[in-house]
Amino acid sequence: MTELEIKIPLSATRHNYDPEVERARYASNRLLIKEKYSFDKFIGKRKNTGEKKLKKLSSEHLQWIAAYINGMTGVQIAEAYDKAAITVYRVLKDPLSRKIIDEFNESARDEFNQMFPLVADAIRVGLEHPSVTIQLKAVDRWAKLSGAVEGAKERPESRAEVISLARIKVVRMLEAAVKATNVIEAEAIVVDST
């Protein structure tokens, strides 16, 4: 079998081929494509990453979203459906998918907020319990919940500040437990573990 060696580019065999014209056409096409992408992003046809937005979600996409809402990661979904992880992540990041996921998150957040009275009642029952251990646990839960409700506070910078804040918390918890049980005296020993 003989080997065929072509030394001139195949595109040069076209009629009226000029390398300089082809180079200029390629450069202008690149600029046009770049401008078209920018315009498509501006009008909302494409996402900021340049990918086209989905026009509709397929049934498989909806299954991926359901799996994501149920706690699977994108990689796990990709393995389960024999797809590339990047494909799954692109679908999950798409505005149509985000709308469904955000609606679910909003309903879960509403349900969580509706549980606050029940949590408050449970903590109140714990504080009224005759056992000091259960009262301390209730005070701890209350302290954690009040921190979650009030929002995150700035974290102290030094280790000494962390230790002093922990000591203050313990003292407050003990004071609350003593008040709840009507104990006249309470003794606590705080040991420095530095």
What are 59's two structure tokens? 């049934």
C-alpha 172/C-alpha 163 separation (Å) is 14
Residue type at 109 in one-letter notation: R
User: Terminus-to-terminus CA distance in the chain, angstroms?
Assistant: 83
Do 51 and 90 form a contact (C-beta atoms < 8 A)? yes
pLDDT of residue 114: 81
pLDDT tens-digit map of 88-116: 998 998 888 999 999 988 888 888 778 77
Residue 52 β-bridge partners: 46
Higher-pLDDT residue of 19, 58? 58
For position 49, what pLDDT does the model report?
67
What is the predicted pLDDT for the residue at 188? Answer: 57
Residues 126-160 pLDDT 10s: 778 888 788 778 777 777 776 655 554 555 466 67
**Structure token digits, residue 102:** 């955000």
- Percent of residues in the chain assigned helix, strand, coil, to nearest 5: 70, 0, 30
pTM greater than 0.85 (yes/no)? no
Taking alpha carbons only, the member of 98, 35, 45 closest to residue 68 is: 98
